[in-house]
Amino acid sequence: MDRWERRLQVIARNGAPSSGDDLHEHGVMVGPDGNVIDAREHDGRPPTESTQQIHPEEAPVVSALLRLATERPALEARLPLLARAADGGWEHHWFAVVHELMGPVLRRVGEDDLQDSGHPKLGANLDDRPPGVDRTGLVAHLAAAIERCTQGEVALLLADIDRFKLHNDLYGSAVGDEILALTAERVDTVAGRSFSAAIGGDEFAIVLEHVEDPSRAKALAERLRRAIAEPLEVDGRTLTASATIGLAFARAGCDADHLLRDADTALFAGKDRGRDRVQVFGPQLQARVARQLGVTQHLRDALADGTLEMHYQPVVDLGTGEVVAAEALMRVGGDDGEPLSPASLIDAAEDSGLVATLGRYVLEETATQVARWERRIGRDHPFRVMVNVSPVQLVDRDFSNAIGHALGAARVDPRRFSLELNESVLVGSGPSADIVVADLVRLGIAFGLDGFGSAGSSLAGLRRFPLAFVKIDRELVDSLGEDPRVEAIVSASIDLAQRLDVSTVAVGVETEAQRDQLAALGCDAAQGYFFSPPLPPDELTRLL
């Protein structure tokens, strides 16, 4: 299971809202073409043979799944959902995302497909399932364990094989099944007398009871991680697999479903942090998740009531002192009234499926504002706006159309727009990103690479994408004048950019000394509080 499918699972466990589309209240129908239909369209009539009604409580999961599938066309997720049975009751059936010409649709998976994919059959008769438990069964076992917990804590380990689908696609389902079987044996061996089970697909659980020393559970989780990573002999091949493990604890009186949710959250965090690791759910992770949920809610509210604002930080030519560009930055107020960081807003948008909505808003607002500035400064004035791009946007083949529409509606020259990429785009985007970038370059959009020269930057970006500028990392600028090695790195970065005919912009300039040193090294432009903080549009207008 990859991190996108894990993200879907965490959304489901946390009861995510359905993006305001009332699906949760009315339920959804899956029509004969696989499309999700609002149940209200059927006026309360029971489903026909060609439609399938999904339980209203599953609606947030359906909404989240389809949003994620829209953002990541390569997603091939399957999951069990409660659907209306012939007798009017509810029973579990497997559903899958199927990508068609007009986008992803949700479709019920037939029994023949289930047998081919190795997924268990679901329905009224749970005894027909292969060995293992589903999540409902695991929650029941956890509840009993917590009830028996007279001392110490109950620990839950959730292990998920990293990139299992790649093995399955490369070598076939028979090899995939053997990997799962051998992994299950290793899980059982490590668990010893403790409860262990496969809980669907490539995920396994171990439950430890009466844990008085948390380090015992952590040590066992680490042994499990190492055991799964041992080479596997499958069908004459030597294969290796890794696993990410989420670990959570619960005391007597705690809720079993919350324990599973906490282990899920830890596992998701481990996937996001690079996989092949043990991630423990604790106060810090809990606080981080709470902050993320809070930021997500603030973002939803701002988009709904129109309080999301755009500010712009000037970029100054170090040779002339003229404002030649500005970086577009979102502004949403937090609980304390202080603006939330743009990076946290982008993370929240990616996690909640709001990237497309937020991206359209930023593009349309910025294009409209650029049109106002162009009327003031004239078409010949060299000024452009830089907008940050998420990896999720670059895998959306409609992204270039959205930009073209925004610029066309505002009647803005595409050369006024620049899009900033960061390292995660290079690592997390596939070939489809190259196609989208090529489309936008043909449109006249310029691209830049953020964080250039930092520990995580990659020279591959200079080769992969047709970049017009790079941004010298803020941490390097902060250390100028303090460490001669930093000056050497910045000087080499600027020299490399010049040789490639790529302009340079230094980020985070706070002092006159930094400005002067960057100018002496040949840096083209800079931004930072020495020049100006991010400004509302009207205040930036006065600088132009």
Of residues 488 and 426, more confidence is placed in 488
Structure-token match 């404002």, residue found: 323
3-class secondary structure per residue, 25-40: HHCEEECCCCCEEEHH
Q: Are 242 and 162 in contact (CB under 8 A)?
A: yes
Rg of the Cα atoms in the chain: 26
User: Hey, what long-range contacts does 397-405 have (CB within 8 A, 24 or more apart)?
Assistant: 397/73, 397/432, 397/435, 397/436, 399/359, 399/436, 399/440, 400/436, 400/439, 400/440, 400/443, 402/359, 402/360, 402/363, 403/363, 403/440, 403/443, 403/445, 404/443
Quote the pLDDT of residue 52.
64
Burial of 488 (0-12, 13-18, 19+ CB in 10 A): exposed
DSSP annotation of 511:
S
The total number of residues shown for the chain amounts to: 544
Domains and CATH numbers, the chain: 17-128 (no CATH), 135-281 (3.30.70.270), 303-538 (3.20.20.450)
Q: What average pLDDT score do residues 172-187 get?
A: 89
Whole-number Cα distances in Å, 248 to 4, 198, 322:
21, 18, 55
Please tell me whether residue 509 adopts helix, strand or coil conformation.
coil
Torsion angles phi and psi, residue 396, rounded to 5: -95, 110
* CA–CA distance, 143 with 156 (Å, rounded to integer): 12
Q: What average pLDDT score do residues 400-428 get?
A: 83
Report whether pLDDT(112) > 60: no
Confidence class of residue 269 from pLDDT cuts 50, 70 and 90?
confident
Report whether pLDDT(518) > 70: yes
Report pLDDT digits (tens) over 59-85.
Answer: 666 766 776 666 555 556 666 677 777
Report whether pLDDT(363) > 80: yes
Residue 367 Cα to chain centre, angstroms: 26
Most confident of 7-11, 226-230, 289-293, 447-451: 226-230
Report whether pLDDT(17) > 90: no
Confidence class of residue 381 from pLDDT cuts 50, 70 and 90?
confident
Q: What average pLDDT score do residues 166-177 get?
A: 81
Q: What average pLDDT score do residues 256-280 get?
A: 88
Confidence class of residue 116 from pLDDT cuts 50, 70 and 90?
very low
Most confident of 4-13, 46-55, 261-270: 261-270
Q: What average pLDDT score do residues 87-93 get?
A: 73
* CA–CA distance, 72 with 236 (Å, rounded to integer): 34
Quote the pLDDT of residue 142.
93
Of residues 220 and 435, more confidence is placed in 220
Report whether pLDDT(200) > 90: no
Of residues 282 and 38, more confidence is placed in 282
* CA–CA distance, 15 with 317 (Å, rounded to integer): 49
Torsion angles phi and psi, residue 472, rounded to 5: -70, 130
Quote the pLDDT of residue 32.
46
Report whether pLDDT(512) > 70: yes
Q: For the sheet with 278-280, list strands across it.
A: 195-198, 203-211, 153-161, 243-250, 278-280
Q: What average pLDDT score do residues 273-292 get?
A: 84
Given the DSSP bridges, would you call strands 203-211 and 153-161 parallel, antiparallel or unpaired? antiparallel
Quote the pLDDT of residue 172.
82
Quote the pLDDT of residue 119.
44
Dmax over CA atoms of the chain, in Å, equals 79
Q: What average pLDDT score do residues 223-237 get?
A: 91
Whole-number Cα distances in Å, 149 to 141, 196, 206, 219:
12, 18, 16, 21
Q: Please give the angle made by the CA atoms of 433, 427 and 299, to the nearest 5 degrees.
A: 75
Of residues 294 and 254, more confidence is placed in 254
Quote the pLDDT of residue 458.
57
* CA–CA distance, 432 with 430 (Å, rounded to integer): 5
Confidence class of residue 437 from pLDDT cuts 50, 70 and 90?
confident
Range in 163-172, 184-193, 265-274, 309-318 the model is least confident about: 163-172
Confidence class of residue 461 from pLDDT cuts 50, 70 and 90?
low
Of residues 222 and 116, more confidence is placed in 222
Residue 327's DSSP bridge partners are 313, 386
* CA–CA distance, 385 with 370 (Å, rounded to integer): 8
Report pLDDT digits (tens) over 132-162.
Answer: 677 788 889 999 999 999 889 999 999 999 8
Most confident of 35-44, 331-340, 385-394, 522-531: 522-531
Quote the pLDDT of residue 70.
65
Please tell me whether residue 300 adopts helix, strand or coil conformation.
helix
Please tell me whether residue 74 adopts helix, strand or coil conformation.
coil
Beta strands in 235-299 (DSSP E): 237-239, 243-250, 278-280
Q: How crowded is the C-beta side of 86, counted as CA atoms within 13 Å? A: 4
* Other beta carbons within 10 Å of 145: 21
Report whether pLDDT(318) > 50: yes
110: closest CA among 125, 121, 99?
121
Report whether pLDDT(184) > 60: yes
* CA–CA distance, 38 with 57 (Å, rounded to integer): 14
Report whether pLDDT(242) > 60: yes
Given the DSSP bridges, would you call strands 384-388 and 417-421 parallel, antiparallel or unpaired? parallel
Report pLDDT digits (tens) over 424-434.
Answer: 666 555 677 78
* CA–CA distance, 529 with 508 (Å, rounded to integer): 7
Q: What average pLDDT score do residues 272-290 get?
A: 84
Question: Dihedral angle at the C-alpha atoms of 112, 113, 117, 122, nearest 10 degrees?
Answer: -80
Report whether pLDDT(281) > 60: yes
Confidence class of residue 283 from pLDDT cuts 50, 70 and 90?
confident
Beta strands in 442-517 (DSSP E): 446-452, 467-472, 503-507
The mean of the pLDDT values for the chain is 80
Tokens of 446: 């310029």
Of residues 365 and 337, more confidence is placed in 365
Quote the pLDDT of residue 510.
95
* CA–CA distance, 170 with 241 (Å, rounded to integer): 13
